[in-house]
Amino acid sequence: MKTILVYHQSAEVRQNLKDILTNAGYQVLSPEEIIEAINHYAAKNLDLIIAEPQFLTYLSRQSQPLRAPFVALLDRTDARLAVELLQNGARECLSPPYRQVEVVGTVQYLLGEEPRKIKKPITVPFWLPFVGGLFLLGLWWFFGKQPAVQIIDLPYDEPTAILADRNFIWISDWYTQSIYQYEQPVLERYFRLSTVNHFSDFGPVALAKKDDVLYSIGNDGILRRHSGDEHSVPEIVADLKITGVTGMCFADDYLWVVTNNPAKLYQFNTSSFNPGREWNCSDIQPIGLEKVNDGFLTLDTFSRRVVLVNPEGNELVLKKNCSSRILILSGRITAFARLKKRAFVTILVSPKHSKLFCFNIRI
């Protein structure tokens, strides 16, 4: 049985996490004081540590190395603090509310307990893969199709949003507070930079287009319109008065926005941008938002899958999975966009190192 050390100043949070992990089949140590937690760390052979950031500070003061995967418990969603903790040794960060599916999923992922489907090997003639490869290569050469999966390096510390159309990809970065426009690559490993829009007063966290005009929402919750001139100041359209935005899109004369803390879908009328209805996201933690005929596509960071969801009653209901679980790259998913049946996901694979993961989805 795997042993997990849990420390939080709040007894309620400690008990909640202990109950979640105990029910999942783990042995849990949950000391009340930080010194007691450090003593457990020194004396026990731990498989995982889930604690507040001050745990790392105490270890550093005592010159003790971090000998087990560490999950930091944040008191709020804070991208800058999360990146700093990842730089200092944390493997993942969790922010409240600490839901069972998120906690257990993170633990299973870090402990390597993710279930794998084992397929029975099939015996084929030795020449068949070679002939099949030539056939597929010929199809690609003839039709000019993109490969099923692309992984492209990005030069950003904290990509926060992505938007794609037939010609360009836009990526916003938290730390430089800029929006970068790139020409879409086909088989290239790097984008060709087209324009850069830098904004010193806000960090863009969501992007969308309406009538060929680019819009963004900043970390201040304000919707802005961009003229396309890289030297112009974006026009403030409306203060949406929401925080934790992770995605947006325009559809059916409405602006739709998803947030992660709390996890909700919001509707705004595009004529006045007054708030309309809102839906809770109890089953998913959404990043990015794309409208399709029978609902919305978003990326659920709980399951690390692209999913189809639909507003029903007061809930955003999960309808189906549209992709396999994203396990080819470890790290924190920060943004999602779609172009037809192609998904674009930015992943912070390590501090100051992000990648763009492109793959096909089923709609």
CATH of the domain at 192: 2.120.10.30
Rounded CA separation 109/325 (Å): 12
Parallel, antiparallel or unpaired: strands 332-339 and 149-154: unpaired
Is the domain of 95 the same as that of 239? no
Is the domain of 148 the same as that of 91? no
pLDDT at 85: 84
Is the domain of 252 the same as that of 154? yes
pLDDT at 98: 85
pLDDT at 184: 67
Q: Where in the sequence is the domain holding 162, given as residue range(s)?
A: 140-360
**Alpha-carbon distance values, 142 to 137, 138, 149, 202, 244 (Å):** 9, 6, 19, 46, 45
Is the domain of 80 the same as that of 153? no
**Domain-embedded: residue 240:** yes
pLDDT at 144: 44
Instruction: Using the 3D structure, point to which of 68, 89, 110 is the last residue of a domain.
Output: 110
Is the domain of 105 the same as that of 148? no
Cβ atoms of 191 and 228 within 8 Å: the answer is no
pLDDT at 201: 56
User: Closest Cα partner for 173 from 190, 160, 155, 182?
Assistant: 160
**pLDDT per residue rounded down to tens, the chain (363 residues):** 899 999 999 999 999 999 999 998 999 999 999 889 988 888 888 999 999 998 988 888 888 888 899 999 988 877 677 778 888 888 888 888 888 878 888 888 888 875 433 333 445 565 666 677 777 766 554 444 445 677 888 877 788 999 988 888 889 888 777 888 887 654 444 556 666 766 655 778 999 999 888 999 988 899 999 876 656 678 899 999 998 999 999 998 999 999 988 899 999 999 889 999 999 998 889 999 999 988 999 999 888 899 999 999 999 999 999 987 776 567 889 999 998 888 999 988 877 788 888 888 887
The DSSP-derived string for 106-161 is HHHHHTT----PPPPP----TTHHHHHHHHHHHHHHHH-PPPSEEEEEE--S-EEE
User: Closest Cα partner for 49 from 78, 82, 83, 91?
Assistant: 91
Instruction: Using the 3D structure, point to which of 90, 110, 130 is the last residue of a domain.
Output: 110
Mark residue 252 as left, alpha or beta (left: phi above 0; alpha: psi -120 to 50; beta: remaining). left
Is the domain of 104 the same as that of 150? no
**Domain-embedded: residue 209:** yes
Is the domain of 66 the same as that of 144? no
Q: How many separate domains does the chain show?
A: 2
**Cis ω before 97 (30° cut-off from 0):** yes
pLDDT at 255: 96
Give the CATH number, domain containing residue 101.
3.40.50.2300
**Domain-embedded: residue 11:** yes
**Domain-embedded: residue 272:** yes
Is the domain of 195 the same as that of 80? no
Is the domain of 148 the same as that of 71? no
Is the domain of 218 the same as that of 276? yes
**Domain-embedded: residue 71:** yes
C-alpha gyration radius of the chain = 22
Is the domain of 216 the same as that of 281? yes
CB-based burial label for 24 (10 Å; 0-12, 13-18, 19+): middle
Structure tokens at 152: 């492209």
pLDDT at 308: 93
CB-based burial label for 341 (10 Å; 0-12, 13-18, 19+): exposed
pLDDT at 336: 95
Is the domain of 207 the same as that of 309? yes
**Domain-embedded: residue 133:** no
pLDDT at 177: 78
Who's near 198: CB < 8 A, 6+ residues apart? 176, 177, 178
SS3 category, 64: coil
**Domain-embedded: residue 207:** yes
**Domain-embedded: residue 92:** yes
Rounded CA separation 311/283 (Å): 12
